[in-house]
Structure 1
Amino acid sequence: MLGLRTTIYKVSDLEAAKLWYSKAFQTEPYFDEPFYVGFNIKGYELGLLPEEDAEKGASVLSYWGVDDILKAYEHLINLEAKPHEAPTNVGGELMVASVYDPWQNIIGIIFNPDFKLQNE
C-alpha cells in the first residue's frame, strides 16, 4: 500500500458541486469534464463523480489534513455544510471533525501535527 491517492464524492449536481468544492478547498479543478471533475489537493486527488441516485453511507471516512481544525470546520459550515462530528480531541494534539456536504457526502478533516509524508 502506498497511501491515500484519491477520494471521490458522488454528487447529483456536478456544476453546483464543482463551485462548492472550489470554495471549500479554495482551489479550482485541474480536470473538468461532464463525467468527472478532479482537484489536486496538495498532491492528493479529490474527485467529483456525477450520479443521480448515489447511495450514501457513513461506512467510509476520508480525512483531509488541516493546520487549524476549528477554522477549517467553521469555513465548511459557513459554506452551508452540515455538522457530522464537531471538532473532537482524540488524543494528544490530534483532532478530527467531519461535515456533510450539500450532497450528503461526509468530508473528514484532521489536525495531526505528527503526520509527515514519507518518500515513496
Structure 2
Amino acid sequence: MTFLRGMSTLKLWSDDLRAATRWYSELLGVEPCFSSEATGRGPGSVEFRIGDYQHELGIIDRRFAPQGLNTSRGGVVAYWHVDDVAGALARLLERGAELLDGVTERGPGFVTASVIDPFGNVLGLMFNRHYLDVLGARHGAR
C-alpha cells in the first residue's frame, strides 16, 4: 500500500467566509456541496467538489484554524492540474488574485504558476503530464 495515495482535501482559510465562498463559487462555476451553515451549525466552513477526481476544496473561517498556524498570507503551495496554465492564471488575476509566481516551464511537460487569492491563500496551477498519464490510464485512454 502506498503511504501517500493522492490529494483528497485542500483546506483554505478566510477571515470573510461569505466573500470567499462567493469568489470561489464564481471562479469554479459551482456552488459548495456542503455548508456548515446549511446544516444549522452556523457559518464555519464550506466544501466544493472539483476536478476529474472530485477533490475536496474546503474553505474554513480563519477563527477555526489550528493554533499556531500562520495567520498571514501564504503557506504550502498545492498545485491543481490545469490544461492551460497561462489562461487559468489570467482568469485568477482578473478575479483579483495576486501574482506570486508567473508561468514557468519546469521541464518538458511541466509548467507552473501560482497566485495568492484575495483571502491570503496560495493557489498553485500546474500542467503536469504525469497527471494526464494517470487520468488516461484510469479511463482506458492514452
TM-score normalised according to structure 1 size: 0.90
Identity over aligned pairs, percent: 34
Q: Which amino acid aligns with 1:97?
A: A
DSSP 3-state at the match of 1:9: strand
1:29 and 1:20 map into 2 onto residues whose CA distance is 11
Q: Which protein is bigger by CA-based radius of gyration?
A: 2
Residue 36 of structure 1: aligned partner = 45
Displacement after TM superposition at 1:73 (Å):
0.4
Distance 1:79 1:18, change over 3 A: same
Residue 47 of structure 1: aligned partner = 58
RMSD: 1.8
Q: Which amino acid aligns with 2:100?
A: H
Displacement after TM superposition at 1:36 (Å):
0.9
Are the counterparts in 1 of residues 75 and 121 from structure 2 also a CA contact under 8 Å?
no
2:5 and 2:44 map into 1 onto residues whose CA distance is 27
Q: Cα deviations across residues 41-97 of structure 1 (Å, max 9, x unaligned)? A: 121010000015861354411011101111100000000100000110000021011
Q: Which amino acid aligns with 1:64?
A: W
Q: Which amino acid aligns with 2:14?
A: V
Are the counterparts in 1 of residues 117 and 123 from structure 2 also a CA contact under 8 Å?
yes
2:11 and 2:130 map into 1 onto residues whose CA distance is 26
Residue 88 of structure 1: aligned partner = 104
2:79 and 2:114 map into 1 onto residues whose CA distance is 8
Of 6, 10, 24, which residue of structure 2 is paired with 1:7?
A: 10
Q: Which moved more, 1:38-47 or 1:20-29?
A: 20-29
Count residues with an aligned counterpart: 119
Q: Which has the higher helix share?
A: 2
Q: Which runs of 5+ in 2 are unaligned?
A: 37-42
